[in-house]
Structure 1
Amino acid sequence: MQCHYSDHFVLPLPEGHRFPMRKYRDLHDALAVALPQARFVEAPSASPGELALAHTPSYVDAVLHGHLSAAQQREIGFPWSPQMAERSRRSVGATIAAARAALHEGVSANLAGGTHHASTDAGSGFCVFNDVAVAARLMQAEWHRHHRRLLRVAVIDLDVHQGNGTAAILADDPTVWTLSLHGQHNFPFRKVASDDDVALPDGCGDADYLAALDAALDRLWTAHADGLPGLAFYNAGADVHEGDRLGRLKLTADGVAERDRRVYAALRQRGIPVAICMGGGYGIDLAQTVAVQRRTLELAWEDWHARGALRAPT
């Protein structure tokens, strides 16, 4: 299984900034110990043309060349710097690379990504470019060029925050199904309708969450009775965990792991490749966040092996 990373592009954030930048390096280090057989691949930098598949050229130019206004930077939550621009390009590049690998191998991951608040011409909520929207459209274009067929895509966004940017970019696109399971009263406070939005109350625990997930996955398959998606993007946010500072839900570590198992199993049973993004995670104890994310990827590794066993000759 390929794991794509760009954690050495660190933003020069001011002291006390609430974004836990070091979680990416901590996750990479933890996985190097837990999954030494995985292939760790440095993320490429997404090109301006690739970014323009989901963003306006003027916004792409403003990010890449430092023309963002002070208001735009405040909405994103990061001050502009060359490192900010390059890290944002690499985050998208990692999801593109993970999607390509998933189409060949069944499962692959971006050790960051899931920047689902970025919309066509603006960033928001620590999200500069929308990696999943860019990668989905690029994979569809490449698939059509090589196979002369439509590639349907499903976005399964289980970050605790609603995927408003992804929903806005892909609105009215019948080739991409967007599902968001999120906290009802959490950011963003103005939601943008996905194909299926499931708003959960504060304090939602394992049992209610998993029941809502099962029902949402059933609706996804019903909506695709005439043809399943050929690729899924899974935003596996760790911020649903009970120890998250910003999450407001109450999933245990075991509950988050069971969430991941159910998503992986549902996709594997239907032969749908999956590219995983890590999404949010803001633990009071950052080690807890990293442990939850590590388990998500350990389960992905198990799923990758299970898919290989299904393909192996008997």
Structure 2
Amino acid sequence: MKALQHVNQVEITWSKIRYLSSLVIKQLSENDLENTKKVKRLESRGLPIVHHHGYVCDLPIKHRFAMKKFHGVIRHLRKDNVVSSKQIVEPDLLDPEVFKVVHSSQYIDRFVSGQTTATEQRKTGFQWSKGIVSRVRYETAGTLLAAKLALERGIACSTGGGTHHAFPDHGSGYCLVNDLAVTAMSLVQTGSVHRVVVVDLDVHQGDGTAYIFSDNSNIYTFSMHNENNFPFQKQESDIDIGLKDRMEDKEYMKILTDILPWILDHVKPDLVLYDAGVDPHEKDELGRLKLTDQGLFDRDFYVIDSCHRQGIPVATVIGGGYQRDLNALTLRHTIVHRAASKIWNGSLVYKS
């Protein structure tokens, strides 16, 4: 088993797959394209890009969270002709009652009405406002819409999302409501899908998502993150891979390409939700890893391409990223959309 060759470099927590070491991972080849089931796509509209100006709200001056990056992402994609206006789909404002599929009624009611305590707000990094509630409603709606569009068309990308630190009864780490968990559970409960895999490659473990689905056999969580980074009390995903500091592109991709094919073959999901956080980047101020722009592109392309080759719908969110240079950060967040666009247009094939 190739993944076990990295045991001296990463910490791997196995929970539901104790027998993984007995299996052999088969790499996808270019010939697989001829044999995979094709997911229905509406070519006339192009790759669906989910965006809403409501992803942004006002924050205090010098707030560390780069709220304006969401506008910057769509601006870069348009300027560089990666997307056209006909590809952009706007979500409707989501009813907060939908949040309660994974969050406690008490927490959501207090959050929506502005009754969370000062201590709770400090833990999230955001002071309560009507604007922040509206933003959460739009962003979660965007992730849910991207997932629905992916089920229809094969691939869809939001320009926001990835709030994976939110727990059932509290927020944490700039995450107030867990959009990935709300989306996965909503689609399972409505019967739209039976199995979902959350592929979380943000540099921080998706602890809220892991906790929410710890006893849910329909929703499978995979987190590959820096072991020495926030959150310092980790939860148990179905698969956790804790990476050492300063890991570079080649080593990172070796681990990812060892494990992802097995997950997709083993779980056989109806949908993949992909958190493409850019905080593993070498210039990220909170990341501790050393991936380059090309490394992030290779990562994103590989994940989306692996799903696409097997006929598995995949919806992407942008996840975390932290750098004072807002233009560089927003450009970096567009890498996942550029990779998805290449796959949609059939202009590239992943080569290991």
Q: Same fold (TM over 0.5)?
A: yes
1:108 aligns with 2:167: no
Provide the secondary structure at the position in 2 that maps to 1:239.
coil
Kindly indicate whether residue 119 of structure 2 is the aligned counterpart of residue 76 of structure 1: no
Q: Could you tell me how far apart the structure 2 residues matched to 1:200 and 1:219 are?
A: 19
Q: Mind listing any 5+ residue stretches in structure 1 that lack a counterpart?
A: 145-149, 308-314
CA distance in 2, matches of 1:183, 1:299: 23
Letter in 1 for 2:98: E
Structure 1, residues 270-307: CA drift from partner, whole Å, max 9, x if none? 11001100000112423222222222101111222339
**Corresponding pairs, count:** 299
Deviation at 1:16, TM superposition (A): 1.7
Match of 1:249 in 2: 289
Aligned to 2:227: 184
Q: Which runs of 4+ in 1 moved over 4 A?
A: none
CA RMSD of aligned residues (A): 1.5
Report the residue type matching 1:25 in the other structure: H
1:269 has 2:309 as partner? yes
TM-score by length of 2: 0.82
Q: Structure 1, residues 117-176: CA drift from partner, whole Å, max 9, x if none?
A: 0010110000010001111111122335xxxxx521000000010000000111111111
Q: Give the match for residue 212 of structure 2.
A: 169
Equivalent positions of 1:120-269 (< 5 A) are 120-143=168-191, 151-224=194-267, 228-269=268-309
Q: How much does 1:9 deviate?
A: 4.8
Task: Give the Cα–Cα distance (whole angstroms) in 2 for the partners of residues 139 and 32 of structure 1.
Answer: 30
Q: CA shift at 1:23, angstroms? A: 0.8
Tell me: CA distance 1:9–1:136, structure 2 relative to 1, closer, same or farther (3 Å): closer
Match of 1:311 in 2: none
CA distance in 1, matches of 2:55, 2:154: 28
**C-alpha contact (below 8 Å) 2:55/2:139 kept by paired residues:** no
Equivalent position of 2:6 in the other structure: none
Q: Find out whether 1:14 has 2:60 as its counterpart.
A: yes
Work out which of the two has the higher radius of gyration on C-alpha atoms and give 1 or 2: 2
Asked if the contact 2:107–2:170 (Cα under 8 Å) also holds between the matched residues in 1, the reply is: yes
Unaligned runs of 5+ in 2: 1-46, 348-352
| TM-score under structure 1 length normalisation | 0.91
* Contact 2:55 2:70 survives alignment (8 Å): no
Q: Match for residue 298 of structure 1?
A: 338
| Alpha-carbon shift at residue 218 of structure 1 (Å) | 3.3
Q: Contact (CA 8 Å) 1:151, 1:230: kept in 2 or not?
A: yes
